Structure 1
Amino acid sequence: MARRIACLKQFGSHSMSFSTLQPDMSYFDKPGIGYIAYARHWGMRFVLADPVCHPQHQELMLDDFLATFSDAVFVQVSKPVIDHLHHRYRYYGTQFGSESKVDLGNWSLRGGKKQIIRTAINQARNQGLEIRESGFDPEVRKISQAWIRTRRCKNNEIRFLIRPMLIDYREGTRYFYAYHGGEAVGFVFFDPIYQNGKLVGYVPNISRSSANFKQGLWYALMAHAMEVFKAEGVAYIDLGLVPLMMDRSVEPQESRLLRGTMSVIRERMDFLYNFKGLEFAKSRFQGTVEKTYCAHRSALPALAMTAMFRLTRIL
């Protein structure tokens, strides 16, 4: 674990690098080089994010991993990973969603699309809410449980693609809370992103808020935290995954069958997950959108996709 943490702090540049250390993960380690994190479900292996290693060792890590686990599925990986898996191993590399990065050096609240953020900030102020950073408070579990009951997935906290709220390793994480009358009514937890041994960004991985705040307390919490990070000289915020937010163009290595299936899920199965609502909320920050992919062996990996949705507890 100590070696993985050291590797994370040196090469953890993927938005999900920190989440690779969540509970119930398995690891493929190459001491002195890096590691690949994966979860097992229904006899399958699901790799989470890019290998945590120096970019020049990425292909070596993938080759050695696939020599042992040749049928693994890769989830939320970057284009360089897809290119290698496709050209060398004939994997399909299908868009899985998108991420959005906000350059904090140029961040401001100006612009028409940010009106909803400004409205949320004003409402928070008018309601007497105080937003501030603090240490981890175990009592926020109550807010989380109430929030989950308002979601599409009411029975369980989503895992794997979103790391659990309660984890053993928390170094570098940041916690911002909204208080009303001394009581916490919302929060956003941020995980660190590293590059070349330096902290370069944060990703908001856990967020919860009271359903009574109509304009979205998340906007006000995010705007406050981003101003704090900007003042500290943090380079950017990665807003994290928007599942099934896919570019209209289809790339040569993609499976058209899986693309079509995921488009149907996004358009017609909103009861599973609020795909469009999440896309709208994150788009208000007007970040730079980047594609993220899943890599799979068959053109329509129906069993693997079902297993992954079960793993994440969406199903």
Structure 2
Amino acid sequence: MQRASSALVHDFAAPVSHAQLWRLLTRHGSSAMAYSSLQPGAAHFLDEQLGYLAYIPIRHPLYAPRGMNVVIGDPIAAPADVERLLDAYLAETRAALTVFLDIGSTFADVLSARGYPVNEFGVNSMIDLRGFDLALRGKQYSHLRRWRNKAHAEGIEVHEGRLGELGREELGELNREWLARKGGHDLAGLTRPLVLEDEDDVRYFWARQQGRLLALAVFDPMYRDGRITGYLHNASRALKDAPNGTNDAIVLHAIGQFQAEGKDILSLGLSPLALKNGERYPHNPVVAWAFDFIYRRCPFIYPCQGNVFHKEKYCGRQEASFIAGIPALNLYHLLGILKALRAL
């Protein structure tokens, strides 16, 4: 069989390209960010035999005058093919700078071994579903018990279904109100923007109070060899007056459902810049200082501390997340990254 050539694929919604991406995603998309590789606005470097990289391309007169590709998560490829896929990408891409964002330790090992500085970027909170105590016994779950009990006392009811089962008007109102409190738009890259229509293998849970839609949670699948092994809690929406504990009631309901189905993992997602493990690779110390400063002093960019505090209450394990750049990152590049993520 003749080997297909690599290509930069921008129209990933075209039928052939989408089928190629989907085939690779369901085979190799085991990381929490894998499904985010299909998010709106993403472009793709595709090698039909090896796999693909998803990235957000930006060009900005100040932050990225020669272009920047912000690669989202780990390569979608078999571990044995990652280095060859990286080589193919580096040989063909025209971007002056590539940032690899929210990558795991396996790919970070590859980049560090090639001499690229790798900085810690945060932690991903992972729940091993088979061992999670849904009864929430013990002191470690006291916050979750209180939030769940409050939601139940307020008459919150949680349901699972397809988005098409929700009224278009009530769903639109929920989305508009939430976005209005979050700067008017979704972030990109680190979270997959909410698509207001049903998507393949995505799960939807919502909460009502006396029939009124209060909150919605979206769970993206993670795959291994064509099988769904777990989910990422990717997106949430909640009305401002939703009782405290509503979102947690949804997540706990989803955990119970995933447990019953024999799923392995629920990822609560990335807590950006929660640098708890120490830098394990040769890295840029100035970038590490900037991350720590943003974490502690810049909640207007992202509420980093509140994010990690809440996820810790689920008592999952924390997996370090990393960031690297080719060429090496500097502070100026960070502004370009924030621009790509729509945080600026």
TM range (shorter): over 0.9
What TM-score do the two structures reach when normalised by structure 1?
A: 0.94
Report the Cα distance in structure 2 between the residues aligned to 1:41 and 1:111, rounded to whole angstroms. 48
CA pair 169-215 structure 1, distance change in 2 beyond 3 A: closer
| Residue of structure 2 in register with 1:79 after alignment | 105
Moved more, 64-73 or 251-260: 64-73
CA contact (8 A) 2:33 2:72 kept: yes
| Amino acid across the alignment from 2:160 | E
Out of 285, 302, 319, the residue aligned to residue 290 of structure 1 is 319
Report the Cα distance in structure 2 between the residues aligned to 1:270 and 1:278, rounded to whole angstroms. 11
CA pair 36-6 structure 1, distance change in 2 beyond 3 A: same
CA pair 188-254 structure 1, distance change in 2 beyond 3 A: same
Report the Cα distance in structure 2 between the residues aligned to 1:304 and 1:112, rounded to whole angstroms. 43
| Amino acid across the alignment from 1:84 | V
| CA distances 1:31-87 after superposition (whole Å, capped 9, x unpaired) | 132111111112211111111011111111111111223731110111121221122
5 Å matches for 1:206-285?
A: 206-285=235-314
CA contact (8 A) 1:99 1:240 kept: yes
- Identical aligned residues as a percent: 29
Matched, 1:4 2:30: no
Report the Cα distance in structure 2 between the residues aligned to 1:166 and 1:230, rounded to whole angstroms. 26
Structure 1 position 262, deviation (Å)? 0.6
5 Å matches for 1:26-65?
A: 26-42=43-59, 43-65=67-89
Matched, 1:176 2:205: yes
| CA distances 1:235-269 after superposition (whole Å, capped 9, x unpaired) | 11011111001125222322111011110011011
Report the Cα distance in structure 2 between the residues aligned to 1:167 and 1:224, rounded to whole angstroms. 22
Report the Cα distance in structure 2 between the residues aligned to 1:287 and 1:229, rounded to whole angstroms. 16
Report the Cα distance in structure 1 between the residues aligned to 2:297 and 2:173, rounded to whole angstroms. 32
Structure 1 position 179, deviation (Å)? 0.7
CA pair 209-310 structure 1, distance change in 2 beyond 3 A: same
Moved more, 292-301 or 258-267: 292-301
Report the Cα distance in structure 2 between the residues aligned to 1:29 and 1:167, rounded to whole angstroms. 27
Report the Cα distance in structure 1 between the residues aligned to 2:205 and 2:147, rounded to whole angstroms. 16
Out of 312, 333, 337, the residue aligned to residue 304 of structure 1 is 333
| Residue of structure 1 in register with 2:195 after alignment | 166
5 Å matches for 1:77-226?
A: 77-88=103-114, 90-108=115-133, 109-136=136-163, 137=166, 138=168, 139-151=170-182, 154-166=183-195, 170-226=199-255
What TM-score do the two structures reach when normalised by structure 2?
A: 0.86
Report the Cα distance in structure 2 between the residues aligned to 1:19 and 1:149, rounded to whole angstroms. 23
| CA distances 1:13-32 after superposition (whole Å, capped 9, x unpaired) | 11111010011111111113
| Amino acid across the alignment from 1:217 | T
CA pair 169-302 structure 1, distance change in 2 beyond 3 A: farther
RMSD of Structure 2 on Structure 1 (CA): 1.7
Structure 1 position 307, deviation (Å)? 1.2
Report the Cα distance in structure 2 between the residues aligned to 1:77 and 1:128, rounded to whole angstroms. 40
| Amino acid across the alignment from 2:296 | E
Structure 1 position 11, deviation (Å)? 0.7
Report the Cα distance in structure 1 between the residues aligned to 2:19 and 2:195, rounded to whole angstroms. 20
CA contact (8 A) 1:79 1:292 kept: yes
| CA distances 1:90-142 after superposition (whole Å, capped 9, x unpaired) | 21111111101111111111232322211222122111111010111444232
CA contact (8 A) 1:22 1:167 kept: no
Q: Which runs of 5 or more structure 2 residues have no equivalent in the other structure?
A: 1-17, 60-66
Structure 1 position 215, deviation (Å)? 2.5
Aligned residues: 312
